[in-house]
Amino acid sequence: MTKNERKPGRMSEQRQQRIRLEISREAARLFWEQGVAATTGEQIAAAVGLSVRTLWRYFRNKESCVEPVLAQDGDEFVALLRRWPRDVSLEDHLMEWAINRTKDPDQQSFDQAVIKMTVLAEKEPDLRTVWLMTNDRIERALVEIFADRLRRSPDDIEVRLHAAAATAVVRVISEDISAALMAGADPTSLGNTLGQMARAVHTATGGAVGDPVDP
């Protein structure tokens, strides 16, 4: 029985992730309040209560400190697509998201940070690179997911084109929604965002992705 994989002294994955998330929130707050350039690593470290050296062990550089925040929605989206049943349409499946989203205040304040960073990423070049890299990772995940669903190779150029186009339209819609919310739009007045995404993906993939497929 190789039951116990944890080595002595090793922190739990959860604890590590919680620290990363904590850093990310503080970094996002500081970036929002005073801009990226004006925020130093020292400030971020101090805000979380870590030494600067330790900060750089959690993140390779200043900008990527907000990566967990920026990647939040994208990672959820990918996870959602991973459990997309073959006999269900994309639009129907995406509704799961809306239902599953918890409404606790901590989650909501985090969502606020996600929106702020998404908006900030439109103007701050240093954050834009992080945002684009995040979407690049999503694209690579979609290649696998689409290849699986279409029963084609992940190397198939068509599959990669579909993944790239789908990721691109989802990103643009995310940016659009974030900007609208940031401008004070009522979340309920936004209409069926997920439906819009599903239709955009269907269109951008030339109809190849979105409909139910043979089991």
Partner DNA sequence: GCGCTAAATGACACTAGGTGACAAGAGGTT
Partner DNA sequence: AACCTCTTGTCACCTAGTGTCATTTAGCGC
- Amino acid 64 reads S
- Contact with DNA (CB under 7 A) among 24, 39, 196, 205: 39
Stretch touching a copy of itself by CB under 8 A, among 15-23, 72-80, 89-97, 132-140: 132-140
x/- binding map, residues 161-190, to DNA, per CB under 7 A? ------------------------------
Q: Does 35 bind DNA (CB under 7 A)?
A: no
Neighbouring C-beta atoms of residue 91, cutoff 10 Å: 18
- Pick from 71, 70, 41: nearest CA to 56: 41
CB 94 within 8 A of CB 5: no
Residues ≥6 apart with Cβ < 8 Å to 173: 193, 196, 197, 200
Residue 60: CB minimum distance to DNA, A: 5
- Pick from 158, 117, 120, 163: nearest CA to 138: 163
Q: Does 50 bind DNA (CB under 7 A)?
A: yes
Residue 161 binds what, of DNA, a copy of itself, none (CB under 5 to 8 Å, by partner type)? Answer: a copy of itself
Q: Does 149 bind a copy of itself (CB under 8 A)?
A: no
